[in-house]
Amino acid sequence: MVVIVDTITNPLRPRHPEKVNRPDSASPPKPDWIRVRAPNTRGYADTRNIVRANGLHTVCEEAGCPNIGECWDKKHATFMIMGDTCTRACAFCNVKTGLPNALDAAEPQNVAEAVAKLGLAHVVITSVDRDDLADGGAEHFAETIRAIRAACPSTTIEILTPDFLRKEGALEVVVAAKPDVFNHNLETVPSRYLTVRPGARYFHSIRLLQRVKELDPTIFTKSGIMVGLGEERHEVLQVMDDLRSGDVDFLTIGQYLQPTRKHHAVMRYVPPDEFSSYEKVAYTKGFLMVSASPLTRSSHHAGEDFARLKAARAATAR
């Protein structure tokens, strides 16, 4: 049998066109503490079918999350709105890059229906960066929050947003929709931004999180970084201080994993005891909630963590 691929009338577009000509970056072999089982449970299949039936994207799939099997088995999916194509090209990220399609006006309602079908008590909504939109997609976030509230009034909502860089008034639109948790990840330490996250600005992201609390102090704020990208310990501790200066409640720290050989290499696999150390230090700095482990990701165990976050706030208020 001969397979013919027409690359003239229907050219095959690479997932990361900006990385095609980069030299391969080799990472060291994964240690035992990083390995996870392949997803093959009934719960995983059910979640996948609901996602497909509603025409939705998830960051679990697009970013190649190692925890997808565990989370989807429990019907915990993190929905990625505004398409599957990002306008930025971060060196660590496996989400497709390029010029996105127009927004799908039916998407907020489709997400709400999927949340209802999955019976989620807590849902995480994230998105690609949409620098092509005048508001960076802020109104679409707000519409999605409102649709979920209407369909599932008891479901708590956590959002993981882009930085809305140079989109005046965008943050205010999202905060006005009153998510329960506002998450925006710093991803790495300032010294690595030009290499790892060149389209973003570290102190803009810190200010974004601080501004959320100024607009609505009742909203929990959250941020996360990856380690293993060449950062130093003292830089991680400084990030903690910077986030606390913005009154951020919840910090996540996880191991960076290289999606392909064209992405940024893993410089080091950080052992579990170092994650435990980071967690202890972060609590001393005043975070209400800290999750630090090799496989920690922003939305991993988000529902359970939200309950603990509320309890921690209540305890400090006594």
- Exposed e or buried b for every residue in 66-97, given b needs 16+ CB within 10 A? bbbbbbbbeebbbbbbbbbbbbbbbbbbbbbb
Whether 26 is covered by a domain: the verdict is no
Whether 12 is covered by a domain: the verdict is no
Q: Which residues pair with 222 in a beta bridge?
A: 183, 250
Quote the domain boundaries for residue 168: 49-317
Q: Report d(CA 162, CA 19) in Å as an integer.
A: 21
Whether 190 is covered by a domain: the verdict is yes
pLDDT of residue 3: 44
List binding-site positions for [4Fe-4S] cluster. 60, 65, 71, 86, 90, 93, 299
Alpha helices in 23-103 (DSSP H): 42-53, 59-62, 68-73
Whether 243 is covered by a domain: the verdict is yes
Whether 193 is covered by a domain: the verdict is yes
pLDDT of residue 5: 45
Number of domains in the chain: 1
Closest CA to 145 of 119, 104, 173: 173
pLDDT of residue 9: 52
Whether 305 is covered by a domain: the verdict is yes
pLDDT of residue 60: 78
Whether 111 is covered by a domain: the verdict is yes
Q: Which H/E stretch holds residue 94?
A: none
Query: Which of the residues in the chain have pLDDT under 50?
Result: 1-6
pLDDT of residue 12: 65
- 0.85 exceeded by the pTM? yes
Contact 65, 94 (CB under 8 A): no
Whether 6 is covered by a domain: the verdict is no
pLDDT of residue 161: 98
250 to 118, 241, 244: CA distances (angstroms): 26, 13, 9
At 150, which CATH number? Answer: 3.20.20.70
List binding-site positions. 60, 65, 71, 86, 90, 93, 299
Give per-residue pLDDT as tens, 125-174. 999 999 999 999 999 999 999 999 999 999 999 999 999 999 999 999 99
pLDDT of residue 138: 98
